[in-house]
Chains A and B, each alone.
Chain A
């Protein structure tokens, strides 16, 4: 009897002390691009080679479905161990208690590799991923939107191709001049006023640049200020001037991107991948494309902060292995190869300042990342951000652009909507 108990204890302690043996880590990956998938498979293979006994199972959950899948899994079970996540909904899932903190994983990695991973994270990302003093995500990609412009169209319109607009007011003026000088069907800028995400991705630079903030000190809607209204005025003004496509109030980002590739816009605020597409399509005017930083407002220059991290779900049974996988995939050589294959800027400051992100067009974006901020800057990320990002602010922009509401009414309704959501 005693011997049996002893044996059991010995066995038990062996199991506890042993490294993660025979564990499975399910990983939901959101990109359906074959290049990305191949790159992820390589990372997984490398990780499994270094960590015997851990089996990483990757499932492809397309970006467009991830919200539905995650919410369904939240309510019915079936969450993965690790997944990607939209950067601005990390707070949402953290607030529900669905995520597991990564501080231990960070510390373990630092101890083993002599690094300080937290210091290598972009300042804007800190706003999204460091909540209540803990780390809840490890960044993979970051992106921001910069101003692509056509030097040839600038010249044609009598504008100096080497001095692109630096402020939103200048942008509005330039867009107008470009539209007037350009042939029919070509517009000054591909600016969206629709309910699509593209609108908020561009407009947030305007309202942050004018010094507006989404949340007031007391946590309620902070948009009801002259700064926000000025930003709204200049942004919708561009559309009301006729400087963008007449259907801008119902077009999505893909359509605008396609339009720029077809030479229909003189300017557009877009991510680095657009340049990759330009190179792939080789339009005649490719060498006339230049990129400048996003326009500044009177208060500051703020870029859109996109990107996504890896997160660990609290429902996981394999937290240690999951944490190791997350750290492995977001640091080191393997991570760098992933970023190169995927064509995105890595969420690590030190990596992004090295090759190949020193080649055109990356430096402009990398530089701008220092000023890329979350929507609710300077407040901490809120759990309701996911809901608000969908169309709340876009509705205000669209209403003014369609001439349905004036600036004051739109702002008032916007704050009413936001406060309703916050009060739930």
Chain B
């Protein structure tokens, strides 16, 4: 009786019209707020607009792009940003999955907890940044004491060490984004019907087996999509590394968001920043496409 869940051919012109109509408001927003500015950014990337030399943009051709390719600091920031993005998403999944499983219960505590867990995500970076800096302070920070005991930190705060600083801030970045993954996973878990678990239990499957054969496949979609989305958000992070370490020590935590911010507001080179964003958009889009194609093949 049931056709497969795969897409069917449209049935009638009325159907087609409906489909387009439903999606048009979203497309309109995308066009207005993203495509138009993107076209502008594209145009801008071909201009020569260093505010200290030209108050108005003048045609620059590929000037920005060749400067971009030669800018080693930029590409260091790019690789750092890739590490940052993957690390952040990994932390988010690692924290969110157990938590979501734990919160997927029907108790008052679980419900209260699922509201409270939203806090890291909702509080502004600027305040959290100071909270974490305090915890990591080598004198008064409780967390520093723990890290010292574990042999991770020396006498000075981990934020002083270029390698550790990046790792620590990646963790904080993941910690901050984790609530949304929890939320999304909770929604996904809650839409798995209990009957599936009951049926499997009757067939003799243990907890772990039920998790692997039922839960994982059904939340896989969510993890990938939300992971992709959180990854994109993380890619352009600015506030957290800026507040915690101003991109330092040295360049250890300077990721693309900081580079671009500086390019516009400190170095006064909006056209160069536009060129960077165009290139990064292409790279990101390529990565996202690849990821989606891989998924489709499964």
Per the CB under 8 Å rule, do A and B touch in the complex? yes
Instruction: For B159, list chain A residues within 8 Å (CB).
Output: 247, 250
Contact residue range for chain B?
20 to 34
Given contacts A185-B139, A196-B246, contact A246 B266 (CB under 8 A): no
Contact mask for chain B residues 91-131; partner A; CB cutoff 8 A; 1 contact, 0 none = 00000000000000000000000000000000000000000
Query: In whole angstroms, what is the CA distance A363 to B5 when docked?
Result: 83
Instruction: For B53, list chain A residues within 8 Å (CB).
Output: 424
Is A150 on the interface with B (CB-CB < 8 A)?
no
Q: Which of A338-378 contact B (CB under 8 A)?
A: none
Given contacts A383-B52, A424-B52, contact A395 B160 (CB under 8 A): no
Instruction: For B162, list chain A residues within 8 Å (CB).
Output: 402, 404
Task: Give A95 Cβ to nearest chain B Cβ, in Å.
Answer: 6
| Chain B interface, >50% SS class | loop
Instruction: For A245, list chain B residues within 8 Å (CB).
Output: 139
Task: Give B253 Cβ to nearest chain A Cβ, in Å.
Answer: 10
Instruction: For B55, list chain A residues within 8 Å (CB).
Output: 96-98
Closest to B165 in A: A250
Instruction: For A247, list chain B residues within 8 Å (CB).
Output: 137-139, 156-157, 159-160
Is B155 on the interface with A (CB-CB < 8 A)?
yes
Interface segment out of the listed A27-35, A43-51, A66-74: A66-74
Closest to A388 in B: B266
User: Of the candidates A68, A185, A250, A390, which one forms a contact with B249 in the assembled complex, judged by CB atoms under 8 Å apart?
Assistant: A250
Is B51 on the interface with A (CB-CB < 8 A)?
yes
Query: In whole angstroms, what is the CA distance A185 to B138 when docked?
Result: 10
Closest to A382 in B: B52
Q: Which of B253-285 contact A (CB under 8 A)?
A: 262, 264-270
Instruction: For B227, list chain A residues within 8 Å (CB).
Output: none
User: Of the candidates B139, B248, B266, which one forms a contact with A250 in the assembled complex, judged by CB atoms under 8 Å apart?
Assistant: B248
User: Of the candidates B52, B247, B264, B269, which one forms a contact with A96 in the assembled complex, judged by CB atoms under 8 Å apart?
Assistant: B52
Is A391 on the interface with B (CB-CB < 8 A)?
yes
Q: Which of A68-118 contact B (CB under 8 A)?
A: 68, 71, 74-75, 92, 95-98
In contact, B264 and A399 (Cβ under 8 angstroms)? no
In contact, B160 and A402 (Cβ under 8 angstroms)? yes
Instruction: For A395, list chain B residues within 8 Å (CB).
Output: 248, 250
Is B85 on the interface with A (CB-CB < 8 A)?
no
Is A386 on the interface with B (CB-CB < 8 A)?
yes
In contact, B246 and A391 (Cβ under 8 angstroms)? yes
Instruction: For A138, list chain B residues within 8 Å (CB).
Output: none
Interface residues of B (CB under 8 A from A): 50-53, 55, 137-139, 155-157, 159-160, 162, 165, 245-250, 262, 264-270
In contact, B248 and A74 (Cβ under 8 angstroms)? no
User: Of the candidates B139, B247, B266, B270, which one forms a contact with A387 in the assembled complex, judged by CB atoms under 8 Å apart?
Assistant: B266
Query: In whole angstroms, what is the CA distance A191 to B55 when docked?
Result: 39
In contact, A71 and B155 (Cβ under 8 angstroms)? no
Sampled A-B contacts (28; CB under 8 Å): A67-B266, A68-B265, A71-B51, A71-B265, A75-B51, A75-B270, A95-B52, A96-B51, A96-B55, A97-B55, A194-B246, A195-B247, A246-B155, A246-B160, A249-B156, A249-B249, A250-B157, A250-B159, A387-B267, A390-B262, A390-B266, A391-B248, A398-B249, A398-B250, A399-B250, A402-B250, A404-B162, A424-B267
User: Of the candidates B156, B265, B269, which one forms a contact with A67 in the assembled complex, judged by CB atoms under 8 Å apart?
Assistant: B265
Query: In whole angstroms, what is the CA distance A420 to B268 when docked?
Result: 14
Closest to B270 in A: A75
Instruction: For A75, list chain B residues within 8 Å (CB).
Output: 51, 270
Instruction: For B52, list chain A residues within 8 Å (CB).
Output: 92, 95-96, 383-384, 424
Instruction: For B157, list chain A residues within 8 Å (CB).
Output: 246-247, 250
Instruction: For A196, list chain B residues within 8 Å (CB).
Output: 246
Closest to B141 in A: A247
Instruction: For A98, list chain B residues within 8 Å (CB).
Output: 55
Task: Give A401 Cβ to nearest chain B Cβ, in Å.
Answer: 9
Query: In whole angstroms, what is the CA distance A387 to B262 when docked?
Result: 9
Given contacts A247-B156, A383-B52, A424-B52, contact A398 B265 (CB under 8 A): no
Instruction: For A246, list chain B residues within 8 Å (CB).
Output: 138, 155-157, 160
Q: Which of A275-314 contact B (CB under 8 A)?
A: none
Closest to B51 in A: A96
Given contacts A74-B51, A96-B51, A96-B52, contact A194 B266 (CB under 8 A): no
In contact, A71 and B264 (Cβ under 8 angstroms)? yes
Instruction: For B262, list chain A residues within 8 Å (CB).
Output: 390
Most buried by B among A96, A185, A250, A387: A250
- A92-B52, A249-B160, A424-B269 known, 10 other contacts, Cβ within 8 Å: A68-B265, A194-B248, A195-B249, A245-B139, A247-B137, A247-B138, A247-B139, A250-B160, A250-B248, A402-B160
Contact mask for chain A residues 176-206; partner B; CB cutoff 8 A; 1 contact, 0 none = 0000000001000000001110000000000
Query: In whole angstroms, what is the CA distance A95 to B50 when docked?
Result: 12
User: Of the candidates B249, B266, B267, which one forms a contact with A402 in the assembled complex, judged by CB atoms under 8 Å apart?
Assistant: B249
Instruction: For A384, list chain B residues within 8 Å (CB).
Output: 52
Task: Give A247 Cβ to nearest chain B Cβ, in Å.
Answer: 5
Query: In whole angstroms, what is the CA distance A404 to B268 when docked?
Result: 30
Query: In whole angstroms, what is the CA distance A196 to B155 when docked?
Result: 21
Instruction: For A404, list chain B residues within 8 Å (CB).
Output: 162, 250
Most buried by B among A95, A185, A249: A249
Task: Give A54 Cβ to nearest chain B Cβ, in Å.
Answer: 28
Instruction: For B265, list chain A residues within 8 Å (CB).
Output: 67-68, 71
In contact, B248 and A398 (Cβ under 8 angstroms)? yes
Instruction: For A398, list chain B residues within 8 Å (CB).
Output: 248-250
Task: Give A295 Cβ to nearest chain B Cβ, in Å.
Answer: 25
Query: In whole angstroms, what is the CA distance A68 to B242 when docked?
Result: 15
Closest to A194 in B: B248
Instruction: For B50, list chain A residues within 8 Å (CB).
Output: 424
Query: In whole angstroms, what is the CA distance A194 to B248 when docked?
Result: 8
Closest to B262 in A: A390
Instruction: For A194, list chain B residues within 8 Å (CB).
Output: 246, 248-249
Instruction: For B249, list chain A residues within 8 Å (CB).
Output: 194-195, 249-250, 398, 402
In contact, B138 and A195 (Cβ under 8 angstroms)? no
Query: In whole angstroms, what is the CA distance A176 to B261 when docked?
Result: 40
Query: In whole angstroms, what is the CA distance A391 to B253 when docked?
Result: 14
Top 6 A-B residue pairs of the complex, sorted by shortest distance between their CB atoms: A246-B156, A195-B246, A247-B157, A250-B159, A195-B248, A383-B52
